[in-house]
Every structure is written in structure tokens, then in C-alpha cells.
């Protein structure tokens, strides 16, 4: 598997979130994902970017277009240096939240993509990786 293209989007304020959504939409269109898959990608990106911004106190989103044999895909990585998640399994359950809101971000986003993983250390930060293949 190889990475064909790479880009970075800072997530420091709510305007960055709009930019992040636009970038993901643009890349998904270029990779010729179907409309429904594009919508799922952009929505997942919105959820995860918001998490990084609100709970992670800001971070970055890395976009990578992938090629694995004849498959093409889009990988999104969200990294923050926030408080981290103590219990990842609990966080993935729908309805879980530490702050305001319904906390659907993580569990819901996982269902919108093909591959999903979380690395987190309390006090250090969180890294969420999401991949959708075409």
C-alpha cells in the first residue's frame, strides 16, 4: 500500500472545521467516491475534527490518499495533545460523553468508515485514524 498524496489541516477554531470539511469533500470527489460515501466521509471528518477541537483542545487533521493494488482510499488522521481518553471502549459506545452533547462522535464515526482505530494516552493526547476505501 502506498500514500499518493498528503495534506494537513490545522484544527484551531470552528472556521478550521469548515475548511476541514471542504478539504475532505474535495479529496473524496477527486478520488471518485460515490455521493453517499463522500457524505459519510465528510460527516465522519466533521465529528472527529470537532472532538479534536473541543475535547482535545485543538489539533490537526492529516489527509492521505492511498492506493492498495487496484483499490484507492482516503485516510484521515486526527491528532491532538489534549487530555486523552481513559477508557476507549467506553468512549466508543453510543451515547457516551464527558462534556455537553450526546457524545455520538466516536461510535457513530466508526460506522461511517471501513477502518477505524484510536490511540490515546491520558495526559498526552489522542490519535484517531479513519479509512474509507472506494
Partner 1 sequence: MERIPVLRMGSLLLVTIQVDMHDKLALQLQDDITQRISDFGSTGVLIDISSLEIVDSFIGRMLANIAAMSRVLGAEAVVVGMQPAVAITLVELGMSLPGVRTALSVEAGMELLMSAVAKAARGWEDDRPQT
| Interacting residue ranges for partner 1, rule: CB under 8 A | 14-15, 17-18, 21-22, 25, 35-36, 38-40, 42-43, 46-47, 50, 94, 101-102, 104-105, 107-109, 111-112
Tell me how far, at minimum, the Cβ of 34 lies from partner 1, in Å: 9
Nearer to partner 1, 83 or 107 (CB): 107
Tell me how far, at minimum, the Cβ of 21 lies from partner 1, in Å: 6
Instruction: Name residue, grid cell 470539511.
Output: 21
Nearer to partner 1, 94 or 122 (CB): 94
Tell me how far, at minimum, the Cβ of 27 lies from partner 1, in Å: 15
Nearer to partner 1, 85 or 113 (CB): 113
Instruction: Name residue, grid cell 475532505.
Output: 24
Beta bridge partners of 132: 74
Tell me how far, at minimum, the Cβ of 35 lies from partner 1, in Å: 5
Nearer to partner 1, 15 or 70 (CB): 15
Amino acid at each position: 500500500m502506498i500514500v499518493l498524496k498528503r495534506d494537513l489541516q490545522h484544527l484551531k477554531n470552528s472556521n478550521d472545521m469548515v475548511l476541514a470539511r471542504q478539504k475532505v469533500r474535495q479529496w473524496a470527489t477527486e478520488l471518485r467516491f460515490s455521493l453517499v460515501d463522500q457524505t459519510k466521509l465528510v460527516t465522519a471528518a466533521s465529528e472527529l475534527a470537532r472532538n479534536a477541537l473541543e475535547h482535545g483542545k485543538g489539533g490537526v487533521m492529516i489527509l492521505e490518499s492511498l492506493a492498495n493494488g487496484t483499490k484507492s482510499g482516503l485516510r484521515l488522521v486526527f491528532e491532538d495533545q489534549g487530555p486523552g481518553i481513559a477508557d476507549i471502549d467506553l468512549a466508543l459506545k453510543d451515547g457516551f460523553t464527558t462534556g455537553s452533547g450526546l457524545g455520538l462522535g466516536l461510535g457513530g464515526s466508526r460506522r461511517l468508515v471501513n477502518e477505524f482505530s484510536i490511540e490515546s494516552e491520558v495526559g498526552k493526547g489522542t490519535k484517531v485514524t479513519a479509512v474509507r476505501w472506494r
